[in-house]
A and B are shown apart, each in its own frame.
Chain A
């Protein structure tokens, strides 16, 4: 196989072999429907509930507060739409941020089209929400605050504990999209006053197509998918048993390896950031220098465009991602990079590299050497670079 250095672990991760192994019997042997009466199938119900326990324990929650979904986007949709419906008699105002994932932003826009009002908080130049802005945005009719635990593009960790405290003091529900953070940083739903939390399996070496929504006991959120009595009648549909087993196994594994894994990733991340900033001119780090996900590095290289950079990296066997317009499918670059104040042309030249548990220092040395060569080459053909050099001669 050709060289492949996978640095797009924020997009998805490799399913861990032990996860796949745990899932396999649930396809061909223990394939019974957990709702069935006979013992052969019914034991799958306890297998599913065991995973619920594992996840609840990881969050400091109760197993009855974990509801399986088909992934992070569904959990985000459910949290916002169902909270809107359940609490609209109290008010029709919500608060979120400008840097949320589209699963939140587009759901919020949808709710706006249905008569809800949404305040989108600004962030500072590091992508951090200011608690004072949140306090100022709260109104008597505010029913939900949704702020992500960590940003998927720039990796910045949000002051979730403080946000939760503000929400709690004001009697407002607090939802956090923890799709990127879960498994990477310890999360305690009680300490942070989190009422709703979304997470996904495939970001932590689990399978795709499975995630969950944590719903604190007492929060009146109703069914999102109507049908059978699965998930305490709140999310109908035969359980994705292999997926749930895979998710539970992945969570158990992530909790077990978190300390050592993230220590190593943090060191490698800092090595990558320090070398890139020192060795490539006209380059900046996006996101907070220290309060960021252990595996996330996000750079902007002036005068070049992200898709070109990604294709050239791909030719060298390196997988990354970019917030350029060409990769977002519209003419505008990433909303996150614009929200932290980058001009469009700088945002177009962004590169996100997200490390995985297998990433080595040798991998990063190769990536840095390749980057230096590619960035210099693309600048050689950039009219923006030509203008800049002529102006500053």
Chain B
């Protein structure tokens, strides 16, 4: 079901953990739907992401997308981090099964939520950053008509 890259990131997730006194923390998702991601960012005075950690409650794809997202933003500027879209995360993982695409959206949203927290704390504007949605599942789950 999953690509070798997804399995690798699930089995050996990168950057799991917490950052004390993080520059920004974002938590997205919904326990009701079975996935929650939390991303911690440590951002230096030049707006470079020095360190990043995550914690995720969710399926294999949720863990793998969080792990990959942290890899993609680590060492990058916050503007570069803004370019890490769900598509980029998916491509880096050699794709996801269609029912798991929402996990990659969650990863993108978690990065944005952490940046939003950072921006708020430091009273700065990040170009292109909007207030993160609290629940990416809204409007999802359109089942096919069965009969």
User: A residues engaging B (CB < 8 A)?
Assistant: 106, 110, 113, 303-305, 307-308, 311, 315, 324-326, 329-331, 333, 344-345, 348, 380-386
Could you say which of B34, B56, B143 contacts A326, with CB atoms under 8 Å apart? B34
Once bound together, how far apart are the Cα atoms of A29 and B39, in whole Å? 65
A299 to chain B, nearest CB (A): 17
**B55 near A305: Cβ-Cβ < 8 Å:** no
Q: List 20 A-B contacts (CB under 8 A).
A: A106-B146, A305-B58, A305-B59, A308-B59, A308-B62, A311-B7, A324-B34, A324-B59, A326-B58, A326-B59, A331-B34, A331-B140, A331-B141, A333-B34, A344-B32, A348-B31, A381-B13, A382-B56, A383-B36, A383-B37
Interface flag for B86 (CB, 8 Å): no
**A325 near B33: Cβ-Cβ < 8 Å:** yes
Find chain B residues with CB under 8 A from A315 CB: 11
**A344 near B34: Cβ-Cβ < 8 Å:** yes
Most A CB contacts (10 A, CB to CB) among B18, B59, B141 go to B59
Find chain A residues with CB under 8 A from B36 CB: 383-384
Interface residues of B in 27-74 (CB under 8 A from A): 27, 31-38, 54-63
Could you say which of A110, A304, A311, A330 contacts B57, with CB atoms under 8 Å apart? A304
**B31 near A345: Cβ-Cβ < 8 Å:** yes
Find chain A residues with CB under 8 A from B34 CB: 305, 324-326, 331, 333, 344-345, 348
Find chain B residues with CB under 8 A from A308 CB: 10, 58-60, 62-63
Most A CB contacts (10 A, CB to CB) among B16, B33, B63 go to B33
Once bound together, how far apart are the Cα atoms of A103 and B11, in whole Å? 35
Interface flag for B137 (CB, 8 Å): yes
**B56 near A381: Cβ-Cβ < 8 Å:** yes
Find chain B residues with CB under 8 A from A344 CB: 31-34
B57 to chain A, nearest CB (A): 5
Interface residues of B in 73-117 (CB under 8 A from A): 99
Which residue from chain B places its CB closest to the CB of A344 in the assembled complex?
B32
Once bound together, how far apart are the Cα atoms of A326 and B103, in whole Å? 11
**A311 near B60: Cβ-Cβ < 8 Å:** yes
Find chain B residues with CB under 8 A from A333 CB: 34
B107 to chain A, nearest CB (A): 14
Once bound together, how far apart are the Cα atoms of A308 and B11, in whole Å? 10
Could you say which of A330, A348, A381, A384 contacts B141, with CB atoms under 8 Å apart? A330
Find chain B residues with CB under 8 A from A113 CB: 147
A305 to chain B, nearest CB (A): 5
Once bound together, how far apart are the Cα atoms of A110 and B147, in whole Å? 7
Once bound together, how far apart are the Cα atoms of A348 and B29, in whole Å? 14
A331-B33, A331-B141 given; 19 more Cβ-contact pairs under 8 Å: A113-B147, A305-B62, A307-B59, A308-B62, A311-B7, A315-B11, A324-B59, A329-B99, A344-B32, A345-B31, A381-B56, A381-B63, A382-B55, A383-B27, A383-B37, A383-B38, A384-B36, A386-B18, A386-B38
A341 to chain B, nearest CB (A): 15
Once bound together, how far apart are the Cα atoms of A315 and B11, in whole Å? 9
Find chain A residues with CB under 8 A from B58 CB: 305, 308, 326
Once bound together, how far apart are the Cα atoms of A304 and B35, in whole Å? 9
Once bound together, how far apart are the Cα atoms of A325 and B141, in whole Å? 12
Interface residues of B in 1-21 (CB under 8 A from A): 7, 10-11, 13, 16, 18
**B18 near A305: Cβ-Cβ < 8 Å:** no
Find chain B residues with CB under 8 A from A325 CB: 33-34
Most A CB contacts (10 A, CB to CB) among B58, B60, B137 go to B58
Find chain A residues with CB under 8 A from B18 CB: 386
Once bound together, how far apart are the Cα atoms of A7 and B10, in whole Å? 23
Find chain B residues with CB under 8 A from A304 CB: 57
Once bound together, how far apart are the Cα atoms of A315 and B56, in whole Å? 20
A316 to chain B, nearest CB (A): 11
Closest 8 CB pairs of A and B: A307-B59, A345-B31, A326-B59, A383-B38, A348-B34, A344-B32, A383-B55, A325-B34
